[in-house]
A and B are shown apart, each in its own frame.
Chain A
Amino acid sequence: MTITLDSKIPDGPLADKWQNFIANERLVNPANKRKFKIIVVGTGLAGASAAATLGELGYQVEAFTFHDSPRRAHSIAAQGGINAAKNYQGDGDSVHRLFYDTIKGGDFRAREANVYRLAEVSVDIIDQMVAQGVPFAREYGGLLDNRSFGGAQVSRTFYARGQTGQQLLIGAYQQLARQIGLGNVKLWNRMEMVDVVNIDGRCAGIVTRDLMTGEFSSHSAHAVVLATGGYGNVFYLSTNAMACNVTGAWRAHRRGAAFANPCYTQIHPTCIPQADDFQSKLTLMSESLRNDGRIWVPKNPDETRRADQVPEDERDYYLERIYPSFGNLAPRDVSSRAAKRMVDAGQGVGPLKNGVYLDFAEAIGRLGESTIRERYGNLFDMYERITGENPYEVPMRIYPASHYTMGGLWVDYELMTTIPGLYCAGEANFSDHGANRLGASALMQGLSDGYFVLPYTISQYLSEWLNKPIPDASHEEFRKVQQEATDRFKGYMAIGGTRGPDHFHRELGRIIWDYCGMDRNAAGLEKALSEIPALHEEFKKDLKVTGSDTNVNQTLEKAGRVDDFFELGMLMCKDALNREESCGGHFRSEHQTDEGEALRNDDDFAYVSAWEWSGDMANPIEHKEQLEYEVVHFQTRSYK
């Protein structure tokens, strides 16, 4: 399959593009919708909202999740909120401002038309979710409350305590459950997608593995939507849930879908620092805490006093000092790097000196403990449970951790990958956040893609296939791909080495974190590019999977996911090495200003790197989508 990148951006002025698309798109009439089968893989915000809406419209939908229930998807863990340009606070917000903040926050590496559409439909998302019964926070008068978030100077974030992701996912899950109950959507739970099948130049379906029985099966459809989430777990330690993986996107990539900007990964500034070596995951403390918490480190690296005994003039409130206009609300990438510098300079706090303080003493003094408890109670409880420290009394300790991945499968304006008929939504695609995502924008993008974009754009493609036969799952290509998948998993069982998959994952994560984490340079990336294949070879020789392949086997599931992380890790480092500039989450130490800020190179790198699988993980083929801005102008991103 040869790759051509056609972004299919509609004609017209930026603000009219989406309406122009809707006015001119090809539709499928209601009676004909029943004739089309659509597979949706993943049931997080993007997948559940897409499956529910497509089911409502009348398509035959099959939804796949590897969890026991669609409600488990990791969207559920998002804490802080969801942005929308409602301007309910009358503080100067507008669709244009949300669009502009998102483009700027993404360091001018996102596609303008997609981002504008995202800002445009953001207002519909809030209406939709409220109608579904999402209990967003309210003022005493009964109207919706908003809070502010990093990278914005308006309050446009809607929230449901510290559990916004949970409430939104449950809303989307309930819409999906309704469609399942009505028989419009068929749910396959505990089923993992392990490959994509293409026939005659279009995506014809998927191959899955039943996690209960180990059985492989093929499923054909007119179109397939991947909403399989991000790849942050490539770092091993991240805030992602344990099962989050790249397999869905990666297997599609190996079958011809271009993978865009893999080096754009987001390191979230406010996570609980690692406590010891065998830690399995890191826990995020919502960015919303930065509304009231002040970040500081002791000026003296050898400080031994308790935090509350360090006098004001011996504290360095470094974000407020360096970025006076945004202060503690500086965007994530900027805040993360600043924390790293403090810790690297020896000013870190905590037993391992691997964190910085997030201090609420001033806010508690000003607002009272009950207000703080109301705003962040569950986050404070969570912190105390994990660390054994009471954040009402001592400051939290935080440190950056892998949290979100802006890169993902390349998609056009219609969210179609480079494989016709294969769509990608939510965190799994690359489309809206450029090189850095602003807080409270992931939930917005997932729901935008699933509720308001895909249901419109997919008919454009499906209408071409009306009354034309498509191959069913008995087609020889399905049989061939299914056999390959079966052999791959049998292969993991047969290695018979000495180490479980977690060992290799941990080692891989260390390499990626050290050389392709918050601070990257050519020498380190070259090193990673030689260490990863060596470790991958060791994996192939020394992996040990016990148990059976015809029964539940979580070790075997993990082996397949780790295998794919190796190949992705290579591509990340390759992409990071290739991008000789610093932008957003991608910081190359060779490219920084005298003050240590990211130095973009718009002349040479204002493009999306979309990588094609060549069959050899060391030699992917790069394609470029030039980013052309009609409305915004490049500027140095400054939060000072």
Chain B
Amino acid sequence: MSTLTNLTLKIWRQDGPTGQGRFESHQIPEISDEASFLELLDILNERLIEEGKEAIVFDHDCREGICGTCSLMIDGQAHGPSKGAATCQIHMRTFNSGDEIVVEPWRAAAFPVIKDLMVDRAPLDRIIEAGGYITAPTGGAPDANLIPIPKPVADASMDAAACIGCGACVAACPNGAASLFTSAKIAHLNLLPQGQAERYKRAEAMVEKMDEYFGSCTNHGECEAACPKEISIDNIAIMNVDYLKSKFKNRKLLDR
């Protein structure tokens, strides 16, 4: 265990969605390398409160990288420097004494800043509401072992389902596209036998809802690099194929 000294935090402060934002500098004389990055912000906030200043607003909750609530651009990278980790899983041992660390909110047109480092990610929920589910009302389900699912299929579905809905993919994308998020959900359900009945309807509805809010995908691949769950960009290909098929298939005829 060792101590980092003389850190400078440059943190984005913004009073509200329409307020003018600005960077604010804070000195951190010393911090243990065992501390997490968000614990550093906690300590800073306690200090600010005791000095009579307003605490920095940031979203966070589980602090173990699973709830998807935390959302910071650290030195220009969504969820900071560690690969396959959310902001809450970044520890100070990743940094060096004397570092200047720049902390910003997600920057995306679809995610307006609510205050300081907190943004509104509600459009992600709208995409799920449009079709990111299997219609299976409670009570009528057949025995769970009735449909065997080959292990590789279940695993591929699980790989996609691991998405935590944090929005880092959108924040990292130069176009502000939500293709990785949307495709992960489409792949999770469309790969499974249970998801087949609504497969094409789902792809169409979710992609079109996504297009209402987010930019277009031009295959930069920044999303995959930023994803704390390392969701594969291959899911976007699965989504595109299913979307295209949905447009060609005469589903109205099939539905009858």
* A contacts, CB < 8 Å to B: 49, 52-53, 56, 67-74, 76-77, 86, 88, 124, 126-133, 135-144, 160-161, 163, 165-167, 170, 173-175, 177-178, 180-181, 187, 189, 212, 241-243, 275-276, 278-281, 283-284, 351, 381-382, 385-386, 388, 451-452, 455, 498-500, 502-503, 544-548, 551-555
Measured between beta carbons, the chain A residues less than 8 angstroms from B144 are: 86, 126-127, 129-131, 136, 144
Chain A minimum-CB-distance residue to B150: A142
Given contacts A74-B62, A77-B62, contact A552 B188 (CB under 8 A): no
Query: 10 A-B Cβ contacts within 8 A?
Result: A53-B138, A72-B67, A128-B136, A136-B144, A144-B144, A181-B129, A278-B43, A280-B42, A502-B42, A544-B52
> How many interface contacts (CB-CB < 8 Å) are there between A and B?
227
Out of A241, A452, A499, A500, name the residue touching B61 (CB < 8 Å): A241
Consensus secondary structure, chain B interface: loop
Q: Please tell me if the beta carbons of A67 and B46 are within 8 angstroms of each other in the complex.
A: no
Query: Which of B113-121, B172-180, B215-223, B243-251 lies on the face that meets chain A?
Result: B113-121
Give Cα A175–Cα B135 distance, bound, in whole angstroms: 8
Out of A68, A163, A166, A498, name the residue touching B69 (CB < 8 Å): A68
Give Cα A37–Cα B84 distance, bound, in whole angstroms: 43
Given contacts A127-B144, A135-B192, A502-B42, contact A385 B85 (CB under 8 A): yes
Give Cα A177–Cα B133 distance, bound, in whole angstroms: 8
Given contacts A74-B67, A133-B134, A174-B128, contact A68 B120 (CB under 8 A): yes
Q: Please tell me if the beta carbons of B64 and A77 are within 8 angstroms of each other in the complex.
A: yes
Given contacts A141-B148, A241-B63, A280-B38, contact A452 B138 (CB under 8 A): yes
Q: Please tell me if the beta carbons of A500 and B39 are within 8 angstroms of each other in the complex.
A: no
Chain A minimum-CB-distance residue to B165: A71
Give Cα A374–Cα B132 distance, bound, in whole angstroms: 27
Expressed in whole angstroms, the minimum distance between the Cβ of A546 and any Cβ of chain B is 5
Q: Please tell me if the beta carbons of B61 and A243 are within 8 angstroms of each other in the complex.
A: yes
Q: Which residue, B91, B140, B162, has most C-beta atoms of chain A within 10 A?
A: B162
Q: Please tell me if the beta carbons of A546 and B141 are within 8 angstroms of each other in the complex.
A: no
Q: Please tell me if the beta carbons of A131 and B141 are within 8 angstroms of each other in the complex.
A: yes
Query: Which of B4-12, B28-36, B96-104 lies on the face that meets chain A?
Result: B28-36
Out of A128, A130, A385, name the residue touching B82 (CB < 8 Å): A385
Q: A74-B62, A382-B64, A451-B138 are in contact. List 10 more A-B contacts (CB 8 A).
A: A52-B138, A70-B125, A72-B67, A131-B142, A278-B39, A385-B85, A385-B91, A502-B42, A502-B46, A554-B57
Give Cα A138–Cα B153 distance, bound, in whole angstroms: 10
Whether B60 sits at the interface, judged by CB under 8 Å, is yes
Whether B238 sits at the interface, judged by CB under 8 Å, is no
Chain B minimum-CB-distance residue to A500: B49
Out of B46, B62, B125, B188, name the residue touching A133 (CB < 8 Å): B188
Chain A minimum-CB-distance residue to B63: A281
Give Cα A160–Cα B138 distance, bound, in whole angstroms: 21
Per-residue CB contact flags for chain B residues 63-81 toward chain A (1 = under 8 Å, else 0) read 1111111000000000000
Per-residue CB contact flags for chain B residues 33-57 toward chain A (1 = under 8 Å, else 0) read 0111011001101101110111101
Given contacts A135-B158, A276-B34, A546-B52, contact A386 B61 (CB under 8 A): no
Whether B256 sits at the interface, judged by CB under 8 Å, is no
Q: Please tell me if the beta carbons of B133 and A132 are within 8 angstroms of each other in the complex.
A: yes
